[in-house]
């Protein structure tokens, strides 16, 4: 059996974002606390006992408090069910949560060599000593089975693959082994080896190619990049000067958007994740929400549990 918990469904900044006065953020602060959402991450387990995080968001501490599956087992003075963290990119909202996992429990970090280079280059991550926290390089198109802290197999098979995207924005224009080129943005296929059930996790994707369509066709479950509704929404709302594409994110709407591009692929369940607070599909009753839902999409929400 494959168990998945959505720890956070929001893009960088979360909902509400600390310095944002947009409609969604205002409502989330005041009369609609149900709009609140932490930054994107999921937890996955094959046995219900040992869990792997996909990305460690800056909201990790809050997410762990809210998720009983990730609490220390009763009676143990020091324990965590978290066996490892798989990183799909080097952005702040994917790696900053690692700093909240520094109190000496053993786990492993699985990441592309480029992301490992970013961690190596930032000495603050040395707080996770290599003795307790192994860093394991993963490679594109090479499936791996993450191990439990005692070395036993986890029962999960994870296949990383490249999707169209961008390097970490804070490395833009800088020469760094962690910036530019293939491997910046990974999608994952996560499979339970015993039951053969699987799903896809793609929290950042700039373009749905034919290759990606054929990969995702017939999947039981897909988490997909839902950052923006339309490419220029941050610019139009006066919230910033970057387009979705400019940040490496496809829009939900439009003829080249995610809803249209991923239609008709016989995917059982489609959930948007990494949703920016500017995205009107977050608002229940909005026209955008209705369009997404009538196309078979679910707007991701913190705490959603799925058993496959």
Residues that bind Zn ion (CB under 5 A): 20, 22, 25, 277
Of 185 and 277, the one with the shorter C-beta distance to Zn ion is: 277
Least distance (Å) between residue 226 CB and Zn ion: 15
Residue 99, classified by CB atoms within 10 Å of its CB into exposed (0-12), middle (13-18) or buried (19+), is middle
Least distance (Å) between residue 296 CB and Zn ion: 27
Of 36 and 176, the one with the shorter C-beta distance to Zn ion is: 36
Of 20 and 292, the one with the shorter C-beta distance to Zn ion is: 20
What is the C-alpha to C-alpha distance for residues 193 and 145, in angstroms, rounded to an integer? Answer: 9
> What CA–CA distances, in Å, run from 71 to 38, 43, 77, 271?
18, 12, 12, 25
Least distance (Å) between residue 27 CB and Zn ion: 10
Coil, strand or helix at 91: coil
Least distance (Å) between residue 190 CB and Zn ion: 31
Q: Which residues pair with 84 in a beta bridge?
A: 52, 108
Least distance (Å) between residue 2 CB and Zn ion: 33
Of 10 and 108, the one with the shorter C-beta distance to Zn ion is: 10
Q: Is the peptide bond before 68 cis (omega within 30 degrees of 0)?
A: no
Cβ within 8 Å of residue 290, ≥6 positions away: none
Cβ within 8 Å of residue 280, ≥6 positions away: 23, 24, 229, 233, 286, 287, 288, 289
Of 227 and 277, the one with the shorter C-beta distance to Zn ion is: 277
Least distance (Å) between residue 28 CB and Zn ion: 8
Distance of CA 177 to the CA centre of its chain: 22
What is the C-alpha to C-alpha distance for residues 96 and 60, in angstroms, rounded to an integer? Answer: 9
Of 18 and 173, the one with the shorter C-beta distance to Zn ion is: 18
Coil, strand or helix at 68: helix
Least distance (Å) between residue 242 CB and Zn ion: 14
The H-assigned helical ranges of 187-262 are 210-216, 233-236, 258-261
Of 93 and 157, the one with the shorter C-beta distance to Zn ion is: 93
């Amino acid at each position: 059996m494959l168990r998945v918990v959505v720890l956070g469904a929001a893009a960088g900044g979360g909902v509400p974002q600390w310095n944002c006065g947009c409609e969604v953020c205002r409502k989330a602060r005041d009369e609609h606390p149900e709009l609140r959402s932490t930054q994107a991450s999921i937890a996955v387990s094959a046995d219900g006992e040992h869990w792997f995080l996909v990305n460690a968001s800056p909201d990790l501490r809050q997410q762990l408090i809210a998720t009983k599956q990730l609490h220390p087992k009763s009676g143990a003075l020091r324990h965590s069910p978290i066996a490892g963290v798989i990183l799909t990119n080097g952005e702040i909202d994917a790696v900053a949560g690692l700093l909240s996992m520094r109190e000496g429990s053993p786990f492993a970090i699985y990441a592309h060599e480029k992301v490992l280079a970013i961690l190596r280059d930032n000495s603050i991550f040395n707080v996770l000593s290599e003795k307790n926290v192994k860093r394991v390089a993963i490679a594109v198109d090479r499936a791996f089975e993450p191990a439990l802290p005692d070395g036993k197999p986890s029962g999960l098979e994870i296949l990383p693959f490249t999707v169209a995207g961008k390097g970490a924005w804070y490395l833009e224009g800088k020469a760094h082994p962690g910036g530019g080129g293939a491997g910046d943005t990974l999608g994952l296929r996560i499979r339970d080896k015993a039951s053969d059930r699987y799903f896809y996790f793609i929290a950042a994707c700039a373009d749905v190619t034919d290759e990606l369509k054929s990969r995702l066709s017939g999947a039981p479950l897909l988490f997909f990049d839902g950052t923006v509704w339309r490419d220029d929404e941050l610019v139009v709302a006066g919230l910033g000067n970057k387009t979705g594409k400019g940040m490496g994110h496809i829009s939900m709407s439009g003829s080249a958007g995610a809803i249209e591009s991923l239609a008709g692929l016989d995917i059982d369940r489609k959930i948007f994740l990494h949703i920016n607070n500017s995205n009107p599909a977050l608002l229940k009753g909005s026209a955008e929400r209705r369009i997404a839902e009538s196309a078979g999409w679910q707007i991701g929400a913190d705490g959603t549990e799925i058993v496959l």
